[in-house]
Amino acid sequence: VCNLLLWGGFICFLLDESEDLRKLAEREIVSCEEEIAELKHQIVLLLIPSEETNSDLVMEVTAGVGGQEAMLFTSEIFDMYRRYAAYKKWKFEILEYFPSEIGGLRHAVASIAGLDAYKYMKFEGGVHRVQRVPKTEKQGRIHTSTMTVAILPQPTEMELKINPKDLRIETKRASGAGGQHVNTTDSAVRIVHIPTGVASECQQERSQIRNKEKAMQMLCAKLYNIKLEEETKKRNSVRKIQIGTKGRSEKIRTYNFPQDRITDHRISRSVHHIECFMLGEEMLDEMIQTLKEYANYESLMEIISGHEK
């Protein structure tokens, strides 16, 4: 950085020599400023502790307050993340899916795997609020509904070891929509981790073996999430921005349809064109990038304040 500044100063000394030198100096100064900015960015990234979590994750979405409208909104948000995974070239697999009667979604679980998937998706955990006139509303009143997103990092075998003796595995007949196999075979699987009481179940597949694999995948994510939260509380102070798997009860974003506006409350940033945003492509990616940058800034401030103490 010092060399770049000295070079810039030397160029400024020659500014009066000729118009060509002036133009050359201006180009060099711009180039040096860009390189300095990039070096500052690299320094910040080096100062911030790297995450130890794997890229893969398990995402849970659940309808909140608002009845059928909340379920319809949950379905739209789930589809938005499915499209976002495709946009980022990640693998998206549904582990559980419980639809409502009118095309909404009560609850669903999906695994997302791909480069830096968790680093991006972790900022989506929390309460999402929608404000709009429901299709069933005859008087045109605006309703407020909510849904929650939980992002659970998927551990590797090295990161989480579970004793098979600590597991209770139960089988039962599947219920709800699912085809002719429903209520005819014991394909649904429920796994309970006895020491913690944490449970997961899956009835998405016809195969009991496949349902057991998916239920185990969800259970591992839940147990690993508990482990990470305990470590985070010991190591870090509480940040303003919702990071990782925390903040299920915190309202993080509002989708206001009458005003065609999406507001992220953690960074007080609003954008318009909800339909484009919910395509799960550039606009959503830009919002998450902004959240990442703000989280990096907060991490740096924590490091600086820690050294001052």
- Per-residue DSSP letters for the chain? -HHHHHHHHHHHHTTTT-HHHHHHHHHHHHHHHHHHHHHHHHHHHHHSPPP-S-S-EEEEEEE-SSHHHHHHHHHHHHHHHHHHHHHTT-EEEEEEEEE-TTS-EEEEEEEEESTTHHHHHGGG-EEEEEEE--TT-SS---EEEEEEEEEEE---TTT----GGGEEEEEE---SSS-TTTTTS--EEEEEETTTTEEEEE-SSS-HHHHHHHHHHHHHHHHHHHHHHHHHHHH-PPPSS--TT--TTSEEEEEETTTTEEEETTTTEEEE-HHHHTTTSHHHHHHHHHHHHHHHHHHHHHHHHHHH-
Q: What's the fold here for domain 164-232? A: Double Stranded RNA Binding Domain (3.30.160)
57-158+238-308 carries CATH number 3.30.70.1660: yes
Query: What one-letter code names the amino acid at 154?
Result: Q
The set of residues, in sequence order, having a beta carbon less than 8 Å from that of 155 and lying 6+ positions away, is 54, 220, 221, 224
Determine the average pLDDT of the residues in 236-241: 44
The average pLDDT across 265-286 equals 95
- pLDDT confidence band for 240 (50 / 70 / 90): very low
In what side-by-side order are the strands of the sheet with 126-132? 91-99, 105-113, 57-63, 143-153, 126-132, 251-256, 261-264, 269-272
Reply yes or no on whether the pLDDT at 280 is more than 50: yes
The count of C-alpha atoms lying within 13 angstroms of the C-alpha of 146, restricted to the half-sphere facing its C-beta, is 13
Q: What integer is the mean pLDDT of 97-118?
A: 91
Region of poorest pLDDT, from 98-107, 220-229, 269-278: 220-229
Considering the chain, what is the average pLDDT of its residues?
Answer: 80
Percent of the chain whose predicted confidence (pLDDT) is above 90: 36
Per-residue confidence (pLDDT) for residue 107, from 0 to 100: 93
- Residues 6 or more apart whose CB falls under 8 angstroms from that of 183 comprise 173, 174, 175
Residue 115 has pLDDT above 80, yes or no: yes
User: 303, exposed or middle or buried, with CB in 10 Å at 0-12, 13-18, 19+?
Assistant: middle
Ramachandran angles phi, psi of 35, nearest 5°: -70, -40
**Hey, do 57-158+238-308 and 164-232 end up sharing a CATH topology, with the first three levels equal?**
no
Domain ranges across the chain: 2-46, 57-158+238-308, 164-232
Which band of pLDDT confidence, cut at 50, 70 and 90, is reported for residue 182?
very low
